[in-house]
Structure 1
Amino acid sequence: MAAQQPPATPPVTRSIGRALLWPAAAVGLGFLLVFNSLNPSGQVKPPAAAAAASVAPAPAGPTSAAPSASPALLLPRSVPKRILIPEIDVDAPFTQLSIGKSGALDAPPENDSNLAGWFKGGVTPGERGTAIVAGHVDTKTGPAVFLELSSLKPGSTVDIARADGSVATFKVDSVETFEKKNFPNERVYADTASPQLRVLTCGGSYDKKNGYTDNVVVFAHLDKVKRAGA
């Protein structure tokens, strides 16, 4: 499984501090790489902080802008508990992902093929900003939770059940595949004025030496909210 790599220091996730620091961290350091589960040694380490400012992001391809969320849809911070994507039979719990000793994002455990990861240093799904979810496409034992992620289409929905009892439903804007060597960090990870979601896994071709060549990224925006007790 695969994804781009977060900064060595997680971005501030609340109020003005987050709004100011998240874009700089995401764009400057080339933010999250979900690692290929069958070749974890193939990880890419983030550039040194001193050099980060000079790293230009990969050019962004054309994409339709995500609709702005109504203020009534904005949710407070609450940890995601489960992801459901009925169209591809995904119904999986979350584990929290953090940055390991190597300075890279730890991947979800490989001994559970039905498990999604959420980067706990970022926003929670439904908050203003870009929430990051990642999972394996396969493991050593076979297919995994996001095996069919690339088959989603614009208009598909992703439900995130949260600890506060609410369910945030995100509508897919696009599903795109990027070469890891040309990953568009700014486009994928930059902060946003509305609640958005990015779901990442591996794609492209695979070999034992280098792992997967690509990352599959689902771009989605918050479409509706079912609040606890509703």
Structure 2
Amino acid sequence: MLPERYRAGRHVLGVAAGALLAVTAAGCGGGGGKPPAKVGTPAPSVSSSAPVKPLARSVPSRLRIPKLNINSPIMKLGLNADHTIQVPPLSKPNMTGWWDGGPTPGEKGASVILGHNVGNGRPSVFEKLGTLKPGDTVQVTRANGSVATFQITKLEQIPKSRFPTQKVYGKLPYPGIRLITCGGRFDASWGHHVDNIIAYGKLVNGT
């Protein structure tokens, strides 16, 4: 069994929270954690010889990652009653989810998209997220018909007990994206994978 939702960070929407805490369920939605109510120090900036102008806000509708043959619909994710981030339904393994409390993909800031790696014993949309490499591209189609293209800059596998809340949700001086799922060793005693896989990217084109 894998965890469906997690808590991370110190605060979310003004409500205090503890360290990362898993809740056992039937799938892994990525461990997006609890976004902080306030963000402090910005995440490290990414240098670019030709910065891309941020796009206007527009809700995402579809995620494409050519290298992984991913063509996934995107749903909105809000917060559960306990202020953990919702996850896509396990009954739809190809579904990804965008946290609607943050920037839309292409806006200035960190846009967060979650996906299962395994659900109900079946491979899911982000099963191979950990095989991405810097330079790979991610395309997000938005409600206004525009497409935001991101380039992966870094891939990180990190224990869920050390979920990098600030780096994932912190302020950015550029339009960025974070793709999150579960990974690492499966801990049968706990019932889930012990790590998160996080792909970081920056906007390189908006059409």
TM-score calculated relative to the size of structure 2:
0.81
Tell me if 1:9 matches 2:44.
Answer: no
**217, 226, 229: which one pairs with 2:198?**
217
The alignment-based identity, stated in percent, is 33
Q: Contact 2:141–2:147 (CA<8 Å) still a contact in 1? A: yes
Indicate the RMSD between aligned Cα atoms, in angstroms: 3.7
**Matched residue count:** 199
> What is the rounded CA distance, in whole Å, between the counterparts of 2:62 and 2:23 in structure 1?
21
Partner residue in 1 for 2:125: 145
Partner residue in 1 for 2:101: 121
Q: Contact 1:203–1:214 (CA<8 Å) still a contact in 2? A: yes
Q: Which secondary structure state, in structure 2, belongs to the residue aligned with residue 188 of structure 1?
A: helix
Shift of 1:68: 5.0
Partner residue in 2 for 1:38: 26
Q: Contact 2:97–2:114 (CA<8 Å) still a contact in 1? A: yes
Amino acid at match of 1:134: L
Q: Contact 2:134–2:151 (CA<8 Å) still a contact in 1? A: yes
TM-score calculated relative to the size of structure 1:
0.74
- Counting only pairs closer than 5 Å after superposition, residues 1-230 of structure 1 correspond to structure 2 as 5=7, 7-9=11-13, 38=26, 65-68=45-48, 73-210=53-190, 211-226=192-207
> What is the rounded CA distance, in whole Å, between the counterparts of 2:135 and 2:55 in structure 1?
22
Deviations 1:52-99 (A, max 9, x none): 99xxx9xx9xxx842359676311110000000010010000111111
Q: Contact 2:73–2:96 (CA<8 Å) still a contact in 1? A: yes
Query: Which ranges of structure 2 fall in alignment gaps of 5 or more residues?
Result: none
> What is the rounded CA distance, in whole Å, between the counterparts of 2:163 and 2:118 in structure 1?
21
* Gap change, CA 1:224 and 1:69, over 3 Å in 2: farther
